[in-house]
Amino acid sequence: MSLDRSKAPEFKIPDDFEIINPLEKVLKNGAFLYYAETPGINAIKLELVSKSNRTSLPLNHSLVPSFTLQMLQEGTTEKSGEELADFFDFHAAELNPFSSYSREGLSLYSTKKHVFQVLPTFCSLLTNATFPEQILEKRKSQRKLSLKLSNEKTASRANQLLRKSLFGVTHPFGFEATEEEVSLITADMLRSYYQNHLWEDLEIFVTGDLNPLELDDLVASLESLPNRVYQPITDLQEISSGPGEQEFKESAVQSSIRIGHWSIPKNHPDYIPLSVFNTILGGYFGSRLIKNIREDKGHTYGISSGLAEIGDFNYWVISADVQKAHYQECLTEIYKEIVDLVDNPIGEDEIEVVRNYLIGKMLAGFSSTFDLLDQFKSVHFSGMDFAFFEEKLKFLKRFTAQDIQRIGKTYFSDNTFIEVVVG
């Protein structure tokens, strides 16, 4: 039978969506390990994630956690930074430190053939790092340059000002680190954070093709890792939100717009319908904002809206880099689209497009076994598991225009948005 390429393949919505949660183990050091098997794939990904203690530090020390993690590969009591780089390169292994406002960690990519040869050296980074002064000074110079370049970009600057307007300048999540804070960093600060704060409430995420004995060997290799008890901050600076900010840059050829609003966490009953509302407004390439600001007006290459989180705080944001001469018109059109979506029910044709898009996107997120733990982490840190996606599919299959309008009236009727424009 010949294939008719003039017709798109039929899209079939699955009847259900059930994925087995990763295998969970508790290590002797109290850390939780989550394992997802990848049959036939000889690559191993191991990710160590812990609670960040950034909020427990003075504001002018807010860069200490990220510097600490970046410096782990620059030398241990057994190997110099150059020797570590050669060792991991020889064994086809890759390390990636990461640090955010709420979590920090280190990931390892390796082959199954080499992983047990690499593990002892990898683990030594967590216990025997030396933080050489000369390398730290180079890192500080690089960070200062990075901050300078970032502040010159309207998009980066707008993101900073939005966080500042949401949380307030004296809150750890609203504080803007400058070159002055970089200059304050010392090796002793990093050692102190390393010895007293790093690796609190440790969680380990593993993907690979390991048989039960190999998994037991991996667990045994990780049980001696440090795992400190997390001490939540009870006297965190109160949030002091502002109306927003405009920053004029004469040399800029575009204006970066950020419009923000406090939102709800993933475990809230309204989160899934809110994510659909967001998709219709600006969450995909066929969204209302794309059609208006990009396709009809031609004022931007891209505009989007999204649901974001920092620590235990959740917000919604519209992001756009637009032609400088038309930024005010863009703001007007953005608010017009919000009002229209709140006041007027969407049509069935648009519902079906969004329904199929979101279901397809969700299923595509599980197309690779290595994606499995990323999807798991996306809900696990909010206290949930894969049952979240089962509930999401149920909603996506049945939502109506009235469901979307209810969300709009609940969360977008008061128009108390935070507005930032840079450029």
Q: Which domains does the chain have, with CATH numbers?
A: 23-222 (3.30.830.10), 244-422 (3.30.830.10)
Beta bridge partners of 129: 76
Q: Residue 242's pLDDT is what?
A: 83
pLDDT category of residue 409 using cuts at 50, 70 and 90: very high
Cβ neighbors of 104 (< 8 A, separation 6 or more) are: 49, 50, 52, 54, 65, 66, 69, 97, 98, 198
Q: Residue 65's pLDDT is what?
A: 96
Arithmetic mean of pLDDT, 284-308? 94
Task: Outline where DSSP puts E strands in 21-124.
Answer: 23-26, 32-37, 43-51, 94-99, 103-111
Overall pTM > 0.85: yes
Residue 111 pLDDT > 90, yes or no? yes
| Averaged confidence pLDDT in the chain | 92
Q: Residue 11's pLDDT is what?
A: 58
Arithmetic mean of pLDDT, 241-263? 91
Q: Residue 229's pLDDT is what?
A: 87
The percent of residues above 70 in pLDDT, for the chain, comes to 95
Q: Residue 202's pLDDT is what?
A: 96
Q: Residue 243's pLDDT is what?
A: 86
Arithmetic mean of pLDDT, 196-219? 95
Kindly state the helix (H) or strand (E) to which residue 305 belongs, with its residue range.
strand 300-310
Q: Are 322 and 300 spatial neighbours (Cβ–Cβ below 8 Å)?
A: yes
Over its C-alpha atoms, the chain yields an Rg (Å, rounded) of 24
Q: Residue 416's pLDDT is what?
A: 83
- For the chain, the 3-state helix, strand and coil shares in percent, each to the nearest 5, are 45, 20, 35
Q: Residue 12's pLDDT is what?
A: 64
Residue 233 pLDDT > 70, yes or no? no
Residue 75 pLDDT > 90, yes or no? yes
Q: Residue 372's pLDDT is what?
A: 86
* 3-state secondary structure (DSSP) of residue 106: strand
Arithmetic mean of pLDDT, 78-95? 97
pLDDT category of residue 245 using cuts at 50, 70 and 90: very high
Q: Residue 395's pLDDT is what?
A: 97
Residue 272 pLDDT > 70, yes or no? yes
pLDDT category of residue 236 using cuts at 50, 70 and 90: low
pLDDT category of residue 241 using cuts at 50, 70 and 90: confident
Q: Residue 237's pLDDT is what?
A: 73
* 3-state secondary structure (DSSP) of residue 162: helix
CB atoms within 10 A of CB 195: 12
Question: What is the side-by-side order of every strand in the sheet holding 103-111?
Answer: 23-26, 32-37, 200-208, 43-51, 103-111, 94-99
Give alpha helix (H) positions in 367-400: 369-380, 387-398
Q: Residue 14's pLDDT is what?
A: 65
From CA 172, how far away is CA 177, in angstroms rounded? Answer: 10
